[in-house]
Structure 1
Amino acid sequence: MLLWLASVLAWFAITLWRPHTRGFLFGSTSLGAALLLLCVAANPAARVAAVNLDRHIHGAAPLDSNYLLRLGSDAVPTILSRLADLEGPAHCELSLRLLAGSGAWRQAPHNWRGFSYSRWRAQRALTEQRATLEALYPSLDSCRFPP
């Protein structure tokens, strides 16, 4: 939002220096659309998930699985792709919670109104790894580790 506001102010200044002031509305709307597309392409939820998983894997921070699963459906393919790098309780907890569908991305209605490309990608990634994860952890009690 702040980036868009700064770019609109810069566009306003450029528009005022020109001999005619037409084009300000089109330019500011175009800047907003371009910034929106840039944010969608950047996929911030996947980046945040990757950074948090990297920090945990390298021992710099504990894993907050609640936060990871609240990031939404954009983060699920990233979490599943990095799941093999996790060990022990973190791997088990995330696997079981993904299989149980406890993420916020599963709360949408299962009809055409609740469809999104992001949710479809998350569901497809989970379906591809479901058999492997269910073989590793057949029940909720399979996550018990000695202290």
Structure 2
Amino acid sequence: MFDDVTVTTLTQAGWFPGRSISIDLWVAQLRDEGVEVHAAATAFLTEFGGLSVVYRGPGISRARESFALDPEECVGEGDRFLEWSQDLGRQIVPVGSLSDGRFFLGLDEGSELYSVEAFVKTFGPMPVAMDRLVLGGMPEAVDETVAGR
């Protein structure tokens, strides 16, 4: 499913195959911001939610950076995710942060993982997205003409 380095990195952060945690608190927090958590985000957060990877160093096409798969990192940013979701025609749910909070992470209903800021870039669909995130693969720009920005 994942590259061996990704498995090792995630395992060291507390992940294991079949991991399942309660996400009720996050679902309630996101709902308070007007964000509904779809099935793909539910599955993602149930398996990976709460994991944090602290790393800096060379990657495949960008530096490997710390990330936290915790929607609480995105509290107060619900409107940003709602606006991008509307602009892109995808329901992007906040799932965490990248680079010590410089960027937010979101997941759409097709399990595509995004870096979200004043722009949106995609790491691609899961499980490829997790390898790119962990191994330092450059996310690709989402066509902003589609987004109307």
TM-score, normalised to structure 1, is: 0.23
Point out the structure with max Rg over C-alpha. Answer: 1
> More strand per residue: 1 or 2?
2
